[in-house]
Amino acid sequence: MTEKQKTTYSMEQQAKLWAVGGGKGGVGKSFLTTNIGVLLAKEGKRVVLMDLDLGGANLHTCLGVTDLDRGVSDFLMRRYEELEEALVPTQVPNLFLLSGAQDSLNIANPKYAQKIRLLRELKKIEADYILMDLGAGTSFNTLDFFIAADTQLLVAIPEPTSIENAYRFIKSSFYRQIRLYSETPELRDLVEESMDRNNRHGIRTPRELLLHLKELGPEMSDFAEQQTERYRPSLILNQVRSNNDIKVGHAMETACLKYFGLSVDFRGYVTNNDLVRRSVLQRKPLMTQSPDSEIGQDLQRLLGNILQRQKVPPS
């Protein structure tokens, strides 16, 4: 990035870090990351999209970036000291890409120290928003980036397989959050055990873990309660085709509270629309091509809801 581009922006605070995850592959994480990023950039925000699907990166294709000569892997391989140096511009003003495409197989699973360095350096990037597009699944790397974000977006589609994976993602990320922040070895071990559904304590859900901890005394129990308050992902339903599909989002919110004891906010939905496929084929983000389409309006409403949520502190 040139000095001139840099000085156009006056950063008042550290970039807001958003993560887009969801457990299941092909639910629209990259599509949503791309188009939410375009919308924010169009509002004049400086936005960096970071492709953390390191084994299957394709954010560059969604954005139509062909001249890809740098990315996250160059930073991890220490070809660049600063992450900022690995940014590439996109067709959209104010929107930059940190690509996850790489030629080194080792990079698909960064080591713990590399992940920490990446997260530390992310905070130094000059931007208003950094949106992380996570890979599918619930690997520790994916969960850790999700947990590190201050806005956690969980994408699902209204189909049983995706719903099942979303629940698994919610459960795993909550357990992982406790393990990461707890300094009590006994609690960390118990959470580790709870991740195995055949554990000897019969703990099947976060709610049952909290009940079990209550019996063990206030120290661990209070800490786990605090983590429950802190855990507040937003659910997004994509590829919605009917009003009944939308109800799935509300039902999942209710089920998370009832069975997991966790608050997951259903933040909005995006309809199924052939324009998405067309935009991918054209390698042009939908929001640059058809912002006023029905799906364009869904995306604008969704972003409005997400931003609104940020103004209200968690209760």
Ligand X SMILES: Nc1ncnc2c1ncn2[C@@H]1O[C@H](COP(=O)(O)OP(=O)(O)OP(=O)(O)O)[C@@H](O)[C@H]1O
Interacting positions 254-293 with ligand X (CB under 6 A): 270, 272-273, 276-277, 280
Interacting positions 220-259 with ligand X (CB under 6 A): 238-239
Question: Quick one: which segment of 29-37, 63-71, 178-186, 259-267 binds ligand X (CB under 6 A)?
Answer: 29-37
95/306 Cα distance (integer angstroms): 19
Binding partner selected for residue 238 from ligand X, Mg ion, none, CB under the kind-specific 5 to 8 Å limit: ligand X
What x-and-dash track marks residues 181-220 binding ligand X by CB under 6 A?
----------------------------------------
Smallest separation, CB 32 to ligand X (Å):
7
Adjacent-strand bridge partners of 240: 271
Question: Quick one: which segment of 2-10, 23-31, 117-125, 211-219 binds Mg ion (CB under 5 A)?
Answer: 23-31
305/57 Cα distance (integer angstroms): 28
- The SS3 assignment for 13 reads coil
Residue from 20, 21, 27, 30 binding Mg ion (CB under 5 A):
30
Nearest residue to Mg ion, using CB?
30
- The SS3 assignment for 100 reads coil
| 141 lines the binding site for ligand X (CB under 6 A) | no
Pairing of strands 95-98, 129-134: unpaired
Residue from 6, 8, 25, 109 binding ligand X (CB under 6 A):
25
Contact (Cβ atoms closer than 8 angstroms) between residue 271 and residue 214: no
DSSP 24-56: STTSSHHHHHHHHHHHHHHTT--EEEEEE-TTS
Q: Residues 6 or more apart from 76 whose CB is under 8 A from it?
A: 107, 110, 114, 117, 118
Smallest separation, CB 146 to ligand X (Å):
14
Residues forming contacts to ligand X in the complex (CB under 6 A) are 25-31, 53, 56, 136, 238-239, 270, 272-273, 276-277, 280
